[in-house]
Amino acid sequence: MKTLVIALGGNALLQRGEVLSADNQYKSIAKIASAIGELAEHYRIVIVHGNGPQVGLLALQNLAYEAVPSYPLDILGAESQGMIGYMLAQRLSQNANARPVSTILTRVVVDKNDPAFDTPSKYIGPVYEPERQKDLERQYGWQMKLDGNYLRRVVPSPAPQSIQDSEAIRLLLDKRHIVICCGGGGIPMIEGEEGYRGVEAVIDKDLVASLLARELNAEYLMILTDADAVYQDWGTPQAKALRQVTPDELRPFAAPDGAMGPKAEAAIEFVEKTGKKAFIGALKDALAIVREEKGTCIRLA
């Protein structure tokens, strides 16, 4: 049975503008479980998920209790892996004829000299009105940046180098488990004098999914988002869905914009380094995407 690594965007877990409640997340996860359940009948499944809204919420809750020093971002990332992984596993396990589901707390090595540490760019947490920027930066010491029409916190997003727990993931896959791992891009680790230690950052989950798919020798990488395909001239009357593209044709979309950019970069990297196929599309179309009936398929010419 072929292996499919799926990267779930943060909007798949929680719609933009929704209250960050457990009930709302479970509603979104019910849709995810249905789509994943169909895929699991045909493929070995690995799920990598985002955590931007969730880890931002944990950071705010962390700051609210002033009697205890704030926990660092790597620990909050681990907390978000447990929270989201638990919720996904619960719902996936409720499907009829469900395969076993396991969540792996996953550590990912990054380079301590990565320039991303000097230029934070990864959005986390809820959105704010732009006029609140100075107050938020003064109150919390955050760096803020516009995300569309709204303001969000940004943190460093170094490139993943290796996945420390890939062997455990591989063993579970061999036992036919659906594996949830590398949540939020994984817990970022840097090498120090006494071994690896966590660092304040959030790794891009699409880039980690691409790396994991290569480490597992997976046949396919699928990046699911709120767009049903990659579009030429997006947002204009001339917008056109791209169904079959090469890495070179997709490369103009791989801009560091925090939206389609990392997805395109991850897909290009996987295809060029393995010669296999990657897909980008909407969660609701997951099974049709891997059959190349919907979404965008990225492949070598």
Per-residue pLDDT of the chain (301 residues; tens, 9 = 90+): 899 999 997 666 777 677 888 898 898 888 888 888 889 989 999 999 998 888 888 988 988 888 988 899 999 999 999 999 999 999 999 875 678 999 999 999 999 999 999 999 888 878 899 999 999 999 888 899 998 889 999 999 999 999 999 999 999 999 999 999 999 999 999 998 889 999 999 999 999 999 999 999 999 999 998 889 999 887 788 889 999 999 999 999 987 765 788 999 999 999 999 999 999 999 889 999 999 999 999 999 7
Which phi and psi angles does 236 have, rounded to 5°?
Answer: -120, 165
Give me Rg for the CA atoms of the chain.
18
Examine the residue annotation and report whether 2 is marked as an active-site residue of this protein. Answer: no
Examine the residue annotation and report whether 205 is marked as an active-site residue of this protein. Answer: yes
Q: Which residues pair with 128 in a beta bridge?
A: 151
How far is the C-alpha of 189 from the C-alpha of 162, rounded, in Å? 10
Cβ neighbours of residue 139 closer than 8 Å, sequence gap 6 or more: none
Examine the residue annotation and report whether 24 is marked as an active-site residue of this protein. Answer: no
216 to 6, 156, 172, 173: CA distances (angstroms): 13, 27, 12, 10
Q: What is the H or E stretch that residue 294 is in?
A: none
Q: Which residues pair with 231 in a beta bridge?
A: 241
DSSP β-ladder status, 178-181 and 44-49: parallel
Find the DSSP H helices in the chain: 10-13, 22-40, 52-64, 73-93, 133-140, 166-174, 205-215, 247-250, 260-274, 286-290
- 85, 186, 205, 295: the catalytic one is 205
- 50, 51, 77, 122: the catalytic one is 122
Q: How many CB atoms lie within 10 A of CB 40?
A: 21
How far is the C-alpha of 1 from the C-alpha of 235, rounded, in Å? 39
Q: Which residues pair with 280 in a beta bridge?
A: 223, 296
- 50, 185, 263, 294: the catalytic one is 263
Q: How many CB atoms lie within 10 A of CB 20?
A: 16
- Which amino acid belongs to residue 188? P
Token pair, residue 185, equals 């891009």
- 11, 37, 51, 184: the catalytic one is 11
Examine the residue annotation and report whether 277 is marked as an active-site residue of this protein. Answer: no
